[in-house]
Structure 1
Amino acid sequence: MKNLSTLEKLNTISHLIGAIIGILFLCLLLIFKGNTAAAIVGYSIYGACFIFLFSMSTVYHRVTLPALKKFFRAFDHISIYLFIAGTYTPIIILGLKSSLRWLFLGLIWTVALAGTVFKIISYGKYNKYKIFSVILYLLMGWLSVLIIAPLYKNTSLAFILWLVLGGIVYSVGTYFYKDTKHKYSHFVWHIFVLIAAVFHFIAIFILQ
């Protein structure tokens, strides 16, 4: 990584750590909590999206060729939608009991698919739509308020607190994501993402 700036080294290393943590989290969930087919499916989707997000971010910040960087930036952005939907998946499958489960699961993955299509259509123009993307990420994440009551009924206060705390950390972190004035703001964003992802893992781990 000698040809990388200090910032890009920090960005690369921070999310490489995230990818490794994602593998560990997936193993922990499957070993200690994968007691039903539904749980295994939910955790596997969550784990795959977790690892994909941090892996794509790592590769994007590691490559230096402009064409490759542009290409992997698309996957870096797309993976955010998939990670949000992937984080929702075990929560919805295991935390909701009525037909609302499938309705909300369909809604979340439809938004993720729409976000993916948007990123493909706007390929190479991401800076132009950066604020819109941030708003869409936040709206997608905070759609959870629509199901907070049934989730609380079926889970626990501890789960809700970790879930909300993770959402708050993500939301505060987006300030640094869109900040272009300070040199290390994107690295700070990476740290917020790591912390929030850990909080949400804790929520998912104590879900059942």
Structure 2
Amino acid sequence: MRSQRQGSAARRRTARPSTDGAGHPAGAERSDTAAATPAKPKMRGWLHAGMTPLIFLAILALIVHTASWSGRLAEAIYLVTALMLFGNSAIYHRGHWSPRISGMLRRFDHSNIAIFIAGTYTPLAVLMLHGASRVTLLCIVWACAAVEVACRNLWMGAPRILYTGLYIAMGWAAVFWIPQFWRAGGPGVVIWLIAGGLCYTVGAVVYAFKWPNPSPRWFGFHEIFHAGTVVGAACHLVSIWLAAG
């Protein structure tokens, strides 16, 4: 009789599903987490992956095209920041990374936006401004970039609208120098500069509000944001090319 009771208890223990420390079935949390994590659109990262070699070659041609060594040095800085932005973004968004590596790449990704904004203004300032005006613009954009990098690394949980708004404000900081850009480089420089800024701004607003999101499976709101950065970067490259003469 005792052996029968022991056998029944053993069968009940065998039939009972394993649980975690909270009393939930083991593996439920993992499956729930996987289900709650949406799959990335299939185009995620491809725009920046394609842009990386293109902007590398284009800025190399710009450096060759530029006559002054100061302009070439500024454009070399621009080249490095462009590769940082588009190259790291492609690696981050196309890869499948561990949480630790993903977090690191995400910090780089967000930091590189501010660095690239400053990098873009560097050749514009060097090629078209002089004296205190040049120094002031460069100090403002690079100081803003340093602050933004610090914020994105120390406060990764900041509201999306807040840090996106800071990127937009930083991108339009040089609006006060537009009259000098117009006099030094002509209307073409300013038109392409503003066109690029508008592309960046539209993409950033879409990113901030996650709308429109046309195809979550293929091409979502994040891809629209990336498209805005690609077109905006191309417009600014034309502006810098015209400024270089």
Same fold, TM-score > 0.5, yes or no: yes
> For 1:99 and 1:116, how far apart are their aligned partners in 2?
25
Give deviations 1:84-106, integer Å, cap 9, x for gaps: 00000000011112321011111
Match of 1:54 among 72, 83, 86: 86
Are 1:41 and 2:73 counterparts? Answer: yes
Residue of structure 2 aligned with 1:107, choices 140, 146, 152? 140
- Paired amino acid for 1:133: Y
Question: Is the 1:25–1:47 contact (alpha carbons within 8 Å) kept by the matching residues of 2?
Answer: no
**2:104 matched to 1:66?**
no
Distance 1:142 1:196 in 2: 13
Q: Answer whether contact 1:12 1:57 (CA < 8 A) is retained.
A: yes
Which segments of 5 or more consecutive residues in structure 2 lack a partner in the other structure? 1-37
**2:230 aligned with 1:194, yes or no?**
yes
Distance 2:176 2:82 in 1: 23
8 Å CA contact 2:192–2:235 kept in 1: the answer is yes
Aligned to 1:91: 124
Q: Secondary structure at the match of 1:10?
A: coil
CA distance in 2, matches of 1:17, 1:52: 14
TM-score normalised by structure 1 residue count: 0.91
Per-residue deviation, 1:5: 4.8
Read off the aligned partner of 1:107 and give its amino acid letter: I
Q: Is the 8 A contact 1:38 1:93 kept in 2?
A: yes
> 1:6 Cα deviation (Å)?
5.8
Are residue 204 (structure 1) and residue 240 (structure 2) matched?
A: yes
Tell me, in whole angstroms, the C-alpha distance in 1 between the residues paired with 2:118 and 2:179: 19
- 3-state SS of paired residue (1:11): coil
- Matched position secondary structure for 1:99: helix
Q: What amino acid is the match of 1:177?
A: Y
Relative to the length of structure 2, the TM-score reads 0.78
Task: Summarize the Cα distance change of 1:88–1:17 in structure 2 as closer, same or farther, 3 Å threshold.
Answer: same
Is 1:133 aligned to residue 163 of structure 2? yes
Q: Which amino acid aligns with 1:87?
A: T
Give unpaired runs (5+ residues) of structure 1: none
Give the length in aligned residue pairs: 200
Residue of structure 2 in register with 1:142 after alignment: 172
CA RMSD of aligned residues (A): 1.6
Q: Does 1:168 align with 2:198?
A: yes
The code of the aligned residue for 2:224 comes to V
**Cα offsets for 1:90-131 (capped at 9, x unmatched):** 0001111232101111111001001011111114x2xx4211
SS in 1 for 2:131: coil
Mapped contact 1:49–1:82 kept (Cα < 8 A): yes
Pick which of 173-182 and 108-117 moved more.
173-182
Amino acid at match of 2:134: R
Q: Structure 1: how far apart are the matches of 2:137 and 2:45?
A: 34
| Contact 2:74/2:123, CA 8 A, preserved across alignment | yes
- SS for the counterpart of 2:130 is coil
Matched, 1:15 2:48: yes
State the 1:145 CA deviation.
1.0
How far is 1:154 from its partner?
Answer: 1.0
Counterparts of 1:97 and 1:154 in 2: how far apart (Å)?
10
Larger Rg: 2
